[in-house]
C-alpha cells in the first residue's frame, strides 16, 4: 500500500462547526453537555464558545417512523 507523496500533504485549516447541544450540568466553570465533543476546542486549534439562544418556532421532541434508506452502488469502485 502506497502512503502517497508527503510533499502533497496539507495541514488542517481552522473551520467552524455549529452544533446544537443542551447543557445538562454546571459545576463551577465546568459544563456538561448532552453529547460528546469529538474534536479539540483548545485555543491553539481555533477555540470554541457557547451561546444561549431561543428559537420558539423550532420543533422539539420529534420522532421519525418507517424511515427507509435506499442506496445504489458499484462494489467495483473503492
For the stretch 15-26, pLDDT in tens is 777 788 889 999
Which residue range is the domain that position 46 belongs to?
A: 17-54
Structurally, the chain folds into a number of domains equal to 1
pLDDT digits (tens, 9 = 90+) for 32-60: 988 887 777 788 877 888 888 888 998 88
* Residue 69, CA atoms < 13 Å, CB-side half-sphere: 3
DSSP 8-state symbol, 5: -
Please check whether residue 44 lies inside any domain of the structure: yes
Pairwise CA distance, residues 32 & 24, whole Å: 6
Pairwise CA distance, residues 16 & 46, whole Å: 9
Please check whether residue 4 lies inside any domain of the structure: no
How high is the pLDDT of residue 26? 94
pTM, two decimals, is: 0.47
Pairwise CA distance, residues 50 & 41, whole Å: 11
| The three cell numbers locating residue 38 | 469529538
Please check whether residue 35 lies inside any domain of the structure: yes
How high is the pLDDT of residue 59? 87
Of the two residues 39 and 76, the one the predictor is more confident about is 76
Please check whether residue 24 lies inside any domain of the structure: yes
Q: Is the pLDDT of residue 1 over 50?
A: no
Amino acid at each position: 500500500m502506497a502512503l502517497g507523496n508527503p510533499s502533497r500533504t496539507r495541514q488542517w485549516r481552522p473551520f467552524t462547526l455549529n452544533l446544537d447541544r443542551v447543557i445538562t450540568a454546571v459545576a463551577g466553570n465546568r459544563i456538561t453537555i448532552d453529547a460528546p465533543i469529538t474534536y479539540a476546542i483548545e485555543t491553539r486549534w481555533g477555540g470554541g464558545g457557547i451561546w444561549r439562544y431561543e428559537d420558539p418556532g423550532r420543533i422539539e421532541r420529534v420522532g421519525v417512523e418507517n424511515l427507509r434508506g435506499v442506496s445504489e452502488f458499484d462494489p467495483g469502485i473503492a
